[in-house]
Structure 1
């Protein structure tokens, strides 16, 4: 557990986030061995192929937070010297103010007792990335090591195709194999919301959910523990 009050927000978006992070990884991996560079003045994050600097993947980057072992705290971008008080991170502050979540409205959030090693900070960055996607609708995010154990979390406006049902059906077996979904029903509902799909529950017991867009339909089945037990799909030919 990282920041306990924020984890439910990240959990809600977990399925959508996993699919979007896989798409980002695929785009970066297409460059081969590569490096990343952040230009805070330009507001960009650039992935560049090591063997051909002309091959790049450039995204608009919005700083959300930094997580630092020195002060043992998270600092939100709206209060960060390199952040924008009116930037995308301000949407998280607004949500926190509306719903009474101090961890979103306090400019600096201390680590829980006993936390703060490299693995914990890396996981905390993923939690913050998930929260940011959930509350802003933007995706994917990038967790960047910026020196001395500190990580910066950016939301990206990246040149990635919108997530379709057809794309999700292909990727979901891989994604679900490594996903931790404390509430799979909610994660599927939120996947449809964030992706802009239509969702219909199959019955009043919520034992299944069908999601659809122009590329097809996928029906998720849930077992008695509300875990995803199967996915059936009907896809439309794409011209």
Structure 2
């Protein structure tokens, strides 16, 4: 019998690669403003680096009044189907795998991992799950008024990660440990390395560590008995470093 999918596992799987994409997006855009016209299907950034997204997807919105998330496909405003189809695909996965947070039209904040209190925190887990399930990793959320936050997946050929380098991978690992709510560090690191093409391997039968690497670097990430990261050691083109 295959292991049942759970939302916490999906969040660990998405966490580090999503973080790297969001850092890259922030650096790419710089200071900016955003504008969206849902009926005209137009999403653009203005500012240091103007960009009109070739495609974008409305995932949903998190509102402080009802303290709930509503998926775009369920919104009574009736948005164009092409904008909500990606969220509907996530819904279908949720139904097939009995994950109510992905399948139900409206999701109370209190039922989400960590029971977030604020809208910008409540949209995070469902956006992360959508990224993992669809393989589209750039997201953006903005103020829709009254404290409501609306979440999108955006696409453009200029938005792609460069080849992995040691300094960026180390930053992602360190910031992921310190700044993200990870349920299982070991799972998060292994999945990140696999999705990023870093050839992860367990160092022993007890899976006490993972090696991963790129063209000019290798890291070994070690874990304690609770699967928390206990150390990072690396070789960078002949030099060594410890994190």
TM-score over 0.5 for the pair = yes
Q: Any residues of structure 2 matched to 1:100-179 within 5 Å, and which?
A: 100-112=98-110, 120-158=118-156, 159-162=158-161, 164-166=163-165, 167-179=168-180
Task: Return the match for 1:84 from 81, 85, 91.
Answer: 81
In the other structure, the counterpart of 2:51 is 57
- Aligned counterparts of 2:180 and 2:235: Cα–Cα separation in 1: 23
CA change 1:176–1:165 in 2 (3 A) is farther
Paired residues of 2:62 and 2:148 also in contact (CA < 8 A): yes
Q: Which runs of 5+ in 2 are unaligned?
A: 1-5, 239-243
CA change 1:225–1:106 in 2 (3 A) is closer
Q: Which runs of 5+ in 1 are unaligned?
A: none
- Aligned counterparts of 2:8 and 2:230: Cα–Cα separation in 1: 24
**How much does 1:203 deviate?**
1.1
1:189 aligns with 2:190: yes
In the other structure, the counterpart of 2:64 is 69
1:219 aligns with 2:214: no
Q: Secondary structure at the match of 1:233?
A: strand
Q: Secondary structure at the match of 1:38?
A: strand
- Aligned counterparts of 2:66 and 2:117: Cα–Cα separation in 1: 17
- In the superposition, the TM-score normalised over structure 2's length comes to 0.77
What is the aligned residue count?
222
Deviates more, 1:15-24 or 1:76-85: 76-85
Paired residues of 2:19 and 2:172 also in contact (CA < 8 A): no
CA change 1:156–1:217 in 2 (3 A) is farther
CA change 1:177–1:44 in 2 (3 A) is farther
In the other structure, the counterpart of 2:43 is 45
**How much does 1:165 deviate?**
3.4
Q: Secondary structure at the match of 2:81?
A: coil
Q: Secondary structure at the match of 1:90?
A: helix
RMSD: 2.8
CA change 1:193–1:171 in 2 (3 A) is closer
Deviates more, 1:179-188 or 1:58-67: 58-67
**How much does 1:152 deviate?**
0.9
